[in-house]
Structure 1
Amino acid sequence: MVQSIPLMIKEAAQRLPEIESKDFGSFFDKFGQSKVVLIGDASHGTSEFYRARAAITKRLIEQHGFNIVAIEGDWPDAKVVDRYVRHDPAKRPPTNTKDLGIFSHFPRWMWRNKETSEFVNWLREHDKSLPLESRTSFAGLDLSRWANQCVL
């Protein structure tokens, strides 16, 4: 017998704790052995989605050794963030996210928001005590430039 989609979703769904709960990130430990975790476009647009994405990403970095955060954003701007979070000694990065001067062409809700700034500052603090080669990097993947050349 074929189940209805709403019933399948109801059976598979799990209630998550509040985003600020220390238990929130642990719900994503099942992805800890993965090489890549894609959180995706559905996480754009609200404070809750950005906070959830940050909590999941922090957990994967701290508990499972993930070492790259790649966003759908311009790689030159992301490179500035990367130098900032990794304390790259080759370039003198700004001392706070307000001085980075990045993602200015993106809507404020996308990357120029409080939640992203807080995550970037958390990542900078996390990376501070690690050797340079062990620090988590931040990269941009500007897929929109290549959209007309993709084969799907």
Structure 2
Amino acid sequence: MNDKVIKGIKEYAIAFNETNDLDPLLQEINNKKSVLLGESSHGTSELYKIRTELSKRLITEKECTFLAVEGDWPACQIVNHYIKGFDKVHSNAREVLKSFNRWPTWMWANEEMIDFIEWLKEYNQLQSQNKQVGFYGIDVYSLWESMDEIIKYLEKIHSLNVETAKQAFACFEPFNRQPEKYGVSAAFYHPSDRIPLPQGM
């Protein structure tokens, strides 16, 4: 490691030993509308604990109510229902996190997340509905599961757009729910190959 890097680390690094060590970061965040949390690794307990503590403080001190995470939308929606009290199926966070069944399951289904999910549920119970925190997955790996959920929802509410949605999703059928085939195809995509969306989309 060269001297310039070492000097930079010494100058800007903030030691983290307790929750109060996050104070400078919270001051820097101030009243920002959006806060993006990066990470240096997937799956280390220390990182999950720090992220949890920072998230709690963003919620309690900065009134953050929308947690968008790198997780599958359908599984995260089950977590969201649980922490908001809509889930009548699962009795605890450990059961809820079994919804993350695509590798790497441990990225979200881990001990640190169990504690955080239970904390979110308890926090939400004390809030009015518009102040409750939501937990939303924005990852795109669960492509087919997400499309299934959309169709299920549209059918549940008797939407007139069920067939339109099915037509829009039909372009994925040749890939037989195999994301690697879709990925290879997308790599060779050219704008001239664009399939027109059904009328009304």
TM range (shorter): 0.7 to 0.9
Aligned residue among 30, 53, 62 for 1:55: 53
Alignment correspondent of 1:132: 129
What's the TM-score, normalizing by structure 2? 0.63
Considering Cα pairs closer than 8 Å and 6+ residues apart, tell me whether 1 or 2 has the greater RCO: 1
Q: CA 1:25 to 1:116, structure 2 compared with 1: closer, same or farther past 3 Å?
A: same
- Flag structure 2 segments of 5+ consecutive residues without an equivalent: 144-181, 188-201
Alignment correspondent of 1:15: 15
Q: Write the distance in 1 (CA, Å) between the matches of 2:51 and 2:89.
A: 25
Query: Which structure carries more helix by proportion?
Result: 2
1:13-51 superposed Cα distances (whole Å, 9 cap, x missing partner): 2222x2xx3413434212141222221242522110000
Percent identity (aligned): 30
Aligned pair count reads: 142
Moved over 6 A (4+): none
Does 2:72 match 1:74?
Answer: yes
Q: Highest Rg: 1 or 2? A: 2
Q: Is the 8 A contact 2:39 2:47 kept in 1?
A: no
Q: Write the distance in 1 (CA, Å) between the matches of 2:46 and 2:62.
A: 23
Give the superposed CA RMSD. Answer: 2.4
Aligned residue among 74, 77, 94 for 1:98: 94
Give the match's secondary structure for 1:42: coil
Q: CA 1:32 to 1:120, structure 2 compared with 1: closer, same or farther past 3 Å?
A: farther
- Flag structure 1 segments of 5+ consecutive residues without an equivalent: none
Deviates more, 1:42-51 or 1:112-121: 42-51
Q: Write the distance in 2 (CA, Å) between the matches of 1:25 and 1:119.
A: 17
